[in-house]
Structure 1
Amino acid sequence: MRIALLQITTNADKMANFEHLRQAAEYAAKKGARVLVFPEATSQAFGTGRLDKQAENLDGEFATAVRELASELGVVIVAGMFVPADTVEKEGKKIDRVHNTALITGAGLHQGYRKIHTYDAFGYRESDTVKPGEELMLFEVDGVSFGVAICYDIRFPEQFKQLAREGAQIIVVPTSWQDGPGKVEQWQVLSRARALDSTTWIAACDQARPQEERKGPTGAGHSVVVDPTGKVVAEAGYEEETLIVDIDLSELEKVRNSIPVL
């Protein structure tokens, strides 16, 4: 299974971000990648304005454009976007919350995973504007079972273990990781630990580090592919970069039999 991690930086306008996605996807498809993983918040980067203003359902402009592109290229695309959720009141103000969603589209698929664990840490409160999801999600491409998680989910091993119990062989993790002292090191440890916890392949795609200063989790690069033994197979740097990796699943059951943590 050839996959691509497309570590890009997105901005405020979702259709401008789609054009960036399109160019990166065309390159990866030409290289033979079958599943293309983009970062969390591909449709609109954190720190670039209210998410509810451009949020859309899975039949919206951005999601439809990605679906048509995936069909045209003959690939499956996983990309972060925001879907309208609910309205809550806080401190006398009404807030239109969204679901932080990983769109999965192509090869007859068109569905969205809603991020379960909102990023309420390091002084940031994602749950103020994002409603948590409740359901795990798996999808299948060419007989290979994929699980899905988003960013902060990677700090919760039980989610990854349960995805593996339900059949996931590869878990894709669109991410927009908060930069700062020690954060890249935490990301590297967590991605390897989740591979070991679940004995699955981890394919985690982060936003590249933006050139301008933004508030919130806006990306620190270092997208990574980790095998079920915790070995890093490929890792990006801080800048925009595409990783194309051939994942060999032939040894997966052998690993799970030798390390029966599930």
Structure 2
Amino acid sequence: MKIACVQLTTGEKVEDNLNLVIPRIREAAQNGARIIVCPEATSQAFSAGRLDTQAEDLEGTFATRLQELAQELEVLIVAGTFRPADQHEVDGKTLNRVFNTALITGLGHHEGYDKIHTYDAFDYRESDTVRPGEDYVVVDVDGLKVGVAICYDIRFPEQFKELARRGAELIVVPTSWADGDGKLNAWRTLSTARALDSVSYIAAAGQARPGGNAKAGEASGPTGIGHSVIVDPNGQRLAEAGYEDEIVYATIDQDAVQEARKKLPILDWTGA
């Protein structure tokens, strides 16, 4: 099965971002992709201000437009969005939190995975404005089991192993990774490691680096570093983007997953 990771730079408005991502999804589908993964924060970039003002449930404009597109193209689309969650007290202020959600739509699906591990690191507290999710998600696409994670989740191998134990052969990861000293090396290491310790394919679609190659390596917030990547169960990087807008493709071989798990049965290990 052919998959695609769509790498782009989204902005402030949901409608503008739909107009940006829809032609890229169409291009990926025309090139034969059956599963098309778009970045975290596709509906609204993290740099675009408050997330709660445009957050909407899966019956809202963003999700339904992509649902209609997925039905038209007969593909599965995974794309980052934000849904209303709850109110949360921070330093005496009441904030409207959202869920950081990966929309999963098409081929009989219309649901979301809510990011479990919020990015509370490096003096940033995503949990102030984003409520952590609780549930793992694995969906079936033409007999291929697909697990879903988001960005910072990739630092937690237990989640990827559990998705694999629940049947996932491919784990898709919408991402908006920060740039800066050591960040690209960390991203490459983590995306490869999660493929190895879950013995699964990893398809991680990231926000492109704002400013592209000219800004590469400079410190930034969680607004994108590019380098969307597809890794096989043996840790081989099948495709990797650069810093600019790009689409990368690879073919998923379920037999390769089963063969790798047979040779390296680490998912069966329960401890001494």
Same fold flag (TM > 0.5) = yes
Tell me whether 1:243 sits opposite 2:244 in the alignment: no
Task: Map residues 48-127 of structure 1 onto 2, 5 A cutoff.
Answer: 48-127=48-127
Aligned mate of 1:226, from 225, 231, 235: 231
Partners of 1:47 and 1:215 within 8 A in 2: no
Task: Return the letter of the residue paired with 1:254.
Answer: E
User: What amino acid does structure 1 have at the position aligned with 2:240?
Assistant: E
State the match for 1:142 in structure 2: 142
| SS of residue paired to 1:27 | helix
- Aligned counterparts, 1:11-26, within 5 A: 11-26=11-26
Which amino acid is 2:230 matched to?
V
Q: Structure 2 counterpart of 1:148, which letter?
A: V
* CA displacement at 1:216 relative to structure 2: 2.4
Q: Supply the distance in 2 between the matched residues of 1:251 and 1:193 (Cα, whole angstroms).
A: 17
Deviation at 1:156, TM superposition (A): 0.1
Q: Is 1:40–1:151's contact at 8 Å kept on the other side of the alignment?
A: yes
Q: How does 1:141-220 map to 2 (within 5 A)?
A: 141-211=141-211, 216-220=221-225
Question: Is the counterpart of residue 47 in structure 1 residue 47 in structure 2?
Answer: yes
TM-score by length of 2: 0.94
Match of 2:262 among 225, 241, 257: 257
Structure-2 separation of matches of 1:180 and 1:215: 6
CA contact (8 A) 1:43 1:81 kept: yes
Q: Structure 2 vs 1, CA of residues 4 and 154 (structure 1 numbering), >3 Å: closer, same or farther?
A: same
Check whether the contact 2:233–2:256 (CA below 8 A) recurs between aligned residues: no
Q: 1:46 & 1:215 partners in 2: Cα distance? A: 11
Q: Which residue of 2 aligns with 1:38?
A: 38
**Residue type at the aligned position of 2:252:** I
Deviation at residue 43 of structure 1 after TM alignment: 0.2
The sequence identity of aligned pairs, in percent, is 59
Superposed CA offset, 1:110-160 (max 9, x none): 000000000011121100100000000011111100000000000000000
* Mapped contact 2:8–2:245 kept (Cα < 8 A): yes
CA deviation after TM superposition for structure 1 residue 254, in Å: 1.4
Number of residues of Structure 1 aligned to a counterpart in Structure 2: 262
Runs of 4+ deviating beyond 4 Å:
212-215
- Provide Cα deviations, 1:82-106, integer angstroms capped at 9, x if missing partner: 0000001222211000000000000
| Alpha carbons 2:149, 2:172 under 8 Å: kept | yes
Alignment check: 8 A CA contact 1:70 1:106 kept: yes
CA contact (8 A) 2:192 2:231 kept: yes
Query: Which ranges of structure 1 fall in alignment gaps of 5 or more residues?
Result: none
RMSD between superposed Cα atoms in Å: 1.2
Q: How far did residue 3 of structure 1 move? A: 0.4
